[in-house]
């Protein structure tokens, strides 16, 4: 079965550097060394797991001063390994204001990124803040999707004050508000959204432009209600993501299989929903001009 992994980090030194003061805490959270790997090793992991990876750029520079793992960087990795890396999510820092708005069109048009990823807790913002509406309007006009982290995070976990991170910034109701204000914007919530899994379920069901990828959690720890809804009312909404390198692929696939879903449900989760919603066929999405933009 085809497996599209919507949430893969590069795992290399530029990505480690982009996490600034949170590197040590992430290693403690995941109970292993949190260190950079060579690009070739990362690509070999994707290839060995049989996934088509969608890389994720990372930019929380305004909050931490750390250098971004840029959209150009992940697009470059994609272009160097087209047999294994399917696409890339770009990243812009909303706190950079007009510069962020100006960047989105160039990143879609010149780099060909799929859309944009946002990490509200670590970026120290909420996506429903009206200050950022010009940014999301620009993204919506480009017909580019966004992927937004929801729920708590290992970054800052256990540190005094979470180093300033606020969990409320990643509450599902911020996504609900964004979806209501931008009904033409395709939104993919990232991670199960604990401790607000039921709230995230409600948002995904209520807002036709909101979808959900379940990266960053071992499937056996999914709440029972979520396990039930994946085979039922959420089966056309849910997509696969790993949060690589957080969890090993072998464990993820073993625990997904153990949930006992039918092949038709698994096909939706692992590739069909991503194909339908995000256009992630084997070929990359069409250029903007072919999508009627520009």
- Give the strand pairing for 115-118 and 146-149: parallel
Give me the pLDDT at residue 161, please.
85
For the chain, what are the domain ranges?
4-282
Give me the pLDDT at residue 236, please.
98
Give me the pLDDT at residue 23, please.
75
Spans of the chain below 70 pLDDT? 282-294
The yes or no reply on domain 4-282 and CATH 3.20.20.70 is no
Give me the pLDDT at residue 162, please.
80
pLDDT tens track for 118-139 = 999 989 999 999 999 999 999 9
pLDDT tens track for 229-266 = 999 999 999 999 999 999 999 999 999 999 999 999 99
In angstroms, rounded to a whole number, what is the distance separating the alpha carbons of residues 264 and 240?
A: 14
Give me the pLDDT at residue 174, please.
98
Which ranges of the chain does DSSP label H, i.e. alpha helix?
13-18, 23-30, 39-49, 61-64, 71-80, 98-111, 120-123, 133-141, 172-181, 197-206, 224-231, 249-258, 263-267, 273-278
Report field, pTM of the whole predicted structure over 0.85: yes
Give me the pLDDT at residue 288, please.
41
Question: Alpha carbon 168 to chain centroid distance?
Answer: 18
In angstroms, rounded to a whole number, what is the distance separating the alpha carbons of residues 164 and 1?
A: 42
- Contacts of residue 250, Cβ cutoff 8 Å, sequence gap at least 6: 49
Give me the pLDDT at residue 1, please.
96
Please count the helices (runs of H) and the strands (runs of E) in the chain: 14, 8
Here the tokens at position 227 are: 């396990």
Give me the pLDDT at residue 286, please.
43
- CA max distance for the chain: 50
Give me the pLDDT at residue 291, please.
37
């Amino acid at each position: 079965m085809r497996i599209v992994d919507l949430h893969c980090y590069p795992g290399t030194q530029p990505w480690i550097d982009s996490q600034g003061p949170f590197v040590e805490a992430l290693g403690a959270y995941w109970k292993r060394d949190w260190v950079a790997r060579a690009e070739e090793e990362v690509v070999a992991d994707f290839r060995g797991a049989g996934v088509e990876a969608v890389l994720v750029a990372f930019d929380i520079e305004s909050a931490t001063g750390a250098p971004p793992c840029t959209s150009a960087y992940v697009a470059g990795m994609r272009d160097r390994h087209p047999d294994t890396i399917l696409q890339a999510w770009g990243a812009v820092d909303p706190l950079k204001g007009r510069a962020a708005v100006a960047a989105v069109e160039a990143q879609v048009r010149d780099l060909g990124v799929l859309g944009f990823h946002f990490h509200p807790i670590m970026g120290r913002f909420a996506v429903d803040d009206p200050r950022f509406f010009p940014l999301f309007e620009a993204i919506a006009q480009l017909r580019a999707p966004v992927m937004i982290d929801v729920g708590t995070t290992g970054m800052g976990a256990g540190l005094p004050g979470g180093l300033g991170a606020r969990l409320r910034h990643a509450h599902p109701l911020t996504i609900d508000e964004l979806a209501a204000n931008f009904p033409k914007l395709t939104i993919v919530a990232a991670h199960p959204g604990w401790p607000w899994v039921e709230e995230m379920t409600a948002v995904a069901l209520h807002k036709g432009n909101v979808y959900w990828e379940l990266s960053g959690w071992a499937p056996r720890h999914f709440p029972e209600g979520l396990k039930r809804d994946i085979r039922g009312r959420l089966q056309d909404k849910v997509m696969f993501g790993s949060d690589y390198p957080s969890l090993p692929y072998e464990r993820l696939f073993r625990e997904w299989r153990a949930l006992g879903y039918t092949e038709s449900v698994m096909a939706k989760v692992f590739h069909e929903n991503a194909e339908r919603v995000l256009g992630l066929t084997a070929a990359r999405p069409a250029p903007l001009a072919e999508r009627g933009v520009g």
